[in-house]
Each structure stands twice: as structure tokens, then as C-alpha cells.
Structure 1
């Protein structure tokens, strides 16, 4: 993730549990697993038990790294442990244990969430000073994140006392503003550009901020992108014993409901603007694109009854793991757009092609926050989420997307 060019106070996020608390919860979960195995609620071979313990230790170590600590959340340790354990168990032929461990991890997640929420509610709200009234969008985000905005007088530097940071809008104007900024620097307060604060709190990059200088391709983390490609292939291969039977079942449902073709192929635009053929289970009528490409809308008559169910729980996207193996896509990334829409966006949105610096994904930051889009306003919002992902592409953000994807699949959020 790109480091912000200012010392940003992170207390607006939930205060994080210490390593001691994480070790305490991990110890309780280990004890709970041993008790469950002793009472024969779950059968855990010794080798599988130690692989799970190793996964937990690795997750604890990884979450202490600065990059992960910035994105710390209640889901991180339990989810990361489960992902690592799943890979290890599949590798040694103990795949059935993966599903059996889910209830244990849900208990772990619930306990850690309660502890973190309690810590958050007991901590004082972050106080940020503003020289200008915050925008309506930022005001709403401040309220959601328990941040208290305090108006600062440019004529009275003493109004900076008791603040955690000072928010400025663009370049300071006038001698009085410069005077306040000088006092803030002497008091070692964080000086935060309002645009970047809005970006951090909303998870979106305003299209007005996307220009030649918003981010450079050289600022990415090529090492992470290299490892991400390897993890995409590894996870797809390890998950194949689960994915293939599930896809076979979905294929049969599609066939008996609406006949052939079972699969739907469509040209999309991938990394570096290269076109590729995306594949998914067909969820619309055979002549769905007779009038040309169009976004799916709420209650779209082209969608079959079974197709609505598949789209609701994202089961129609399963064949795209083939695109992942081919290198056309990643598991996580901005959704690939149709060529016609890409050409239109490139003409109207500056730096739109920077969206193609990363591989498109089966799931992404926009999908877990917004869902499907069917209007110009929603498309604009989706692109703002996509640009945020491009700018902040990192392992912690990808893990957050994985967790929110699980919730999306379980709830059917944002389906069309």
C-alpha cells in the first residue's frame, strides 16, 4: 500500500487488540479445539491439529507486520488462520476438516469482535480540527467513524489544543492560515489534506482527483503483485476438489432450467488493456445481447429464474477460475469491463487506463462495497472504488476483500 505523505492518526479506525490479547484468544481457541476433539464433536488427527496450530502462529506473526497492523480488524487473525490452515490441510489430503473448523473460527471471530468493539467504545473519539467546514460526504463519514470535527479559528492558534490532527483543504490561503499551520507543526499535530482524509474514510478516490500526478505505475508493489499471481494459481489448484463438483452441480441446474449453452463467453478488457474471453455460467436468455451490450438492472427481464439465484450468491462467477489459471484474471481485482464501455470511459475519464495496471478480479473492492451497478451515478461510484483499489493494492486490503466477499455471498448483497 502506498504510504500517505503525512503522519496520519489511525485512531479513527477501531483501536487494535494487543498481541497479548491475540495470544489469549488463540490459546482459548486451541483449548476449545482440544475439548471438542476430546468429546468427539470433531475428529482431528494429531498431524492436522499441529498444522492448524502452525497456521495460527503464522497468522499472528503476519498480523504484527506494519502493513497488516494498519488494516487491523476483528476478522483478520481468524480469517488468515483459516486460509493458511485450509491450504495446508488440502495439501495433506485433509480437506473435509476445512468445513469442520468453520464453527470454531466463527466463535473465535465473535469473541474477538466483542472484545474489539468494547475497546473501541471505551476509547475517546478522535478530535480533528477543521479550518473550513467539512463537505457533506466527509461529515457523514466522520460520524460513522466516531471522529469529532472541531472548527479551528485561524485567529486563535490556542484552539489547536486537545486536537489529534488538523485537516486542511487544498493549499492554505492567507497569512492567518499559514500561522495556524506553523503552530500545528510546532505542536507536532498531524496535518491532513481533506481530500486524502475523505479517501481514507470512504474507501473511494474521487474522479476529480485522478490526474497525471495522482499515482504512478512505478509506485506499485511489483513484489506483491508477483506473489499475488502465485497465490492465485496455488489457491485455485488447491480449491479445485471443491470447485469442480460445485461447478458440475451448477452446470446441471443451468442445463435443466434453460438448456444450452451452459456457459457464456464475452470479450472483456484485462491487464494492460489486453482483451480476453471471460467465461461464466449463463444467467440470461440466449438473446440477451441482441440489442447490444447493456448493464444488468434490478428486475432485468433477461435474467432467468435460476440465473437470479446464481447471481445473488455469485455462483455464476465460478468458471472464471479458469480465467485465473490462464492469467487473464486474478481472484481479487477490479471487475473487467466490456470493450464498448471501456472505450467510452477512456474518452470521458482522465487516467481511466490506470485501472488496467492490475489484473481484473472475480471479486473486488467495488463489488463488496457497492454490488452491481445499473446507473451513471453508480458507475461513477464503482470507478472511485476501483481507483482506490489500484492506488492501495496490498495483501491486507485483499484479505479485507476476501472477508467481505464471504459476507456478500452469504447475504446476497448487491445482486441484480
Structure 2
């Protein structure tokens, strides 16, 4: 029986020393807040009026520590990013609870606790080395693409022979030789797990192998029951909270678009959404008014159809700000696969296996594929982006969405993948 792949970035199970480390960290977080807020005796000596805030800080630290471990189970994540995103999320949640409850609290106290928690957990992740697996690899098929990936001691087996490893990996589609089949059976009798190379490839690259999931993808995946509703509520709150900053920015971009070239400020186009249904997506116009008079086509690097303002707004994703309307309307989410033009979606559905499955979730302003691959122009690049989209769907969760948000901010500041 093929076993699931244990993420190579996952750490050992929690030990007594880990509990002691985090216990000391919680005490230091509370003391740091008191030291920074020494001028307020309400927080230097913990009293009845501060129990609520202190309890929330303890809760936030524990939640962030657990979330960091969960975040490291995803592919293409690093230690510091995971710790920062996790701690920031939980302390922002604590701040929101304190503000909504209208209880008195110290912002200095919260800031001090946040900084100590970040430094403490980052130090622990640096000192505590992740597992380095020793894996045996039976050559053939997708297995040939694995050597060199990840911090793994690869043992490539040229002939069936016994090696001391944690697991043996094989591609069932290319392991039909009787000698290898007998070898696999012998390893199983020794208690050595058998890993599917597709699962290992997915855990190391953040992508799904289309070849190995063409028949079984839907059998092992179902849309979570509760999280889509949480995600919808989060989308609405995020859009509404961003309006004080977003509206002035959108007005500025709209003015620049109007001054830069003739034509409408907004551009409406039919896109394919969840379930394959069509909707009208809105964005700021970035091309000339006659850009698609000869039909739709992918944007190229240095495309002469793009206006001066359009080139800047595309680079920093400012042209997509009006899509907050589509998010509020329920046609899109903030995070999901890229929304594709109806004509291209129909074309790719015929050319690329599994392509229609990306429509099982709402398209998004950003997503796992967008932050790792960027813009796709053509069937080949779209196929590669699909491998990221399917990974996102299989691992759909709050923790993965948090990582995507952080990576998106990095993408916006660097202009990665824009055309």
C-alpha cells in the first residue's frame, strides 16, 4: 500500500523541551509588553482590568506556534515567512477582538508582545533543524524528475538491493518489472513504507502531476464543507476594510487612465467562474480602445497595445482593484485560480486534461499559481499553471490562503510575472 508523503519541512512532534521553550516565551512576551508600557501601572502589575488582553496574547502565541508548524507542511515555504505570517494573523485577530469589545488596551503592550513572539519563534525554527529524509528511489517515469529536489538524501537504486532508508518511492505506472515488484514486496515485509512519486513530487514542488492524477484527482478531493463559507465572509470583510485606502487609490488610477488615453476608464469582459458559469469581470482599461479589434489574444512582453499608465498599473496589479466589485458580488474570491476569458477557457478545456476542474472553486484576484508562475501566455504555460491551481484546490485551507496573501504582497512590490 502506498503511503502519503510526510512533508520534508515538517518538524518532529512536540516534546517536553518544546513546551518549556514556548512556556518561557509566553512569560517573556507578557513581561516585554509591561516593560514597554512601564508608564502605565495598569499593565506593569497585571490586574483585573488587563486579564482579558493577557489571556488573548497567550491564546495568540499558542495559535501562532501551532499555525507555524501547519504552514511548514506546505511546499515552497520558508521558516521566517511562515513564522511572520502566522504571528501577524493571530495578533491582528487579537487586536480586532479588543477593538470590537471596546475594552481598554495598550497598543505598546501588544507591539512588544508581538515582536518578542516573532523573534522567539524565528529563533526556535532556526535552531530546530527539520527532518532530513533518506529515501530510496526506483528509477522510471516521474521518479526521474525528483533527484535534486528538497533537502533529501536520495538513494537511486540501479538494481534491486537493500538500503537503510525511511521509505521507498516508486512510480506504479513504470514499475512493472518482476524483479522490482518482488523488491517492493520484500521492503514492505520489512516495514519500510512505499511512497507514490506523485505525492513526493507534489510535496516538494507545490504542483500536482497531471499525468498521475488524470483518473483519481476527484476521488481523493472534496470541497471543504465549512471553509468556503468562512472564506466568503473573510472576502467581504477584507474588501470593506480596504475601501478607505482602496477608493482614493482607485480614483487616482481612474484619473490617470482618463488623462493617458481615449476610451472608457473601466474594461468589462466575460470570464469563466465557479462551475463553468460566465460573469462580467471589471478592471481598469490598460490597452488602447482598438486593442482587440482583431480578436482576443494573450498579452506579450512589451506589448504595444498596452498604454503607458496601463503598463505601470499591470506591473503593480492596480488595474485589478475594481474587481473588488466582483468579489462583493460573489463571482470571485480574493484568492483562487486566475479568472480566464471564456474563449480561452473553452480552448484549454479541449487541449489540457483536468483543466475544467479548476472551475470547482471561485476564481481569485491572486492565487497559488499567480505568485509562483506569473502570467501565462499559451497552452504550455497554462498547463504549468494548472499544476499549481490543482495543488491549491487539494490543500485549500486558511493557512495556505494566509501564505498566498503574504506572497502576493511580495509579488506586488516586485512586479513579478506582469505583462
- With normalisation by structure 1, the TM-score equals 0.81
**Partner of 1:79 in structure 2?**
88
Alignment match, 1:324: 327
Matches within 5 A, 1:182-331: 182-216=185-219, 219-258=222-261, 260-331=263-334
1:6 maps to which of 3, 17, 32: 3
SS in 2 for 1:225: helix
- Contact 2:348/2:379 (<8 A) preserved: no
CA distance in 2, matches of 1:52, 1:362: 37
Residues 343 and 52 of structure 1: is their aligned pair in 2 closer, same or farther, counting only changes over 3 Å?
farther
Q: 1:376 to 1:86 in 2, by over 3 A?
A: farther
- The residue that corresponds to 1:43 in the other structure is none
Task: Choose which of 134, 151, 155 in structure 2 pairs with 1:150.
Answer: 155
* Distance in 2 (alpha carbons) for counterparts of 1:111 and 1:309: 39
**Do 2:221 and 2:394's aligned partners in 1 also have CA atoms closer than 8 Å?**
no
Query: 1:128 aligns to what SS in structure 2?
Result: strand
Structure 2 residues not aligned, in runs of 5+: 41-46
- 2:61 aligned with 1:54, yes or no? no
Q: Secondary structure at the residue paired with 2:301?
A: coil
Shift of 1:358: 0.3
Partners of 1:331 and 1:55 in 2: CA distance: 28
Is the deviation greater in 262-271 or in 386-395? Answer: 386-395
Aligned to 2:166: 164
Shift of residue 243 of structure 1?
Answer: 2.3
1:128 to 114, 122, 135: 135
Name the CA distance, whole Å, in 2 between partners of 1:106 and 1:202. 31
Taking structure 1 as reference, are residues 179 and 315 closer, same or farther at Cα in structure 2, changes over 3 Å only?
A: same
- In the alignment, the residues of structure 2 paired with residue 176 and residue 259 of structure 1 have an alpha-carbon distance, to the nearest angstrom, of 71
| Alpha-carbon distance, 1:307 to partner | 1.8
Instruction: Give the alignment's Cα RMSD to 1 decimal.
Output: 3.7
Cα gap change, 1:337 to 1:70, in 2 (>3 Å) = same
What is the deviation of 1:24? 5.2
Unpaired segments of 5 or more residues in structure 1? 41-45
1:333 positional shift: 0.2
Matched positions, count? 397
Aligned-residue offset at 1:365: 0.6
Q: Which moved more, 1:198-207 or 1:334-343?
A: 198-207
Preserved CA contact (<8 Å) 1:210 1:350: no
Return the alpha-carbon distance in structure 1 between the equivalents of residues 50 and 418 of structure 2: 37
In the aligned structure 2, how far is the partner of 1:252 from the partner of 1:102? 38
* SS of 1:222 mapped into structure 2: coil
Separation in 2, partners of 1:250, 1:103: 37
Alignment partners' CA distance in 1, 2:206 and 2:143: 16
Alignment correspondent of 2:147: 139
Give the structure with higher Rg (CA). Answer: 2
Greater alpha carbon shift after TM alignment, 244-253 vs 79-88? 79-88
Aligned residues of 1:129 and 1:152 also touching (Cα < 8 A):
yes
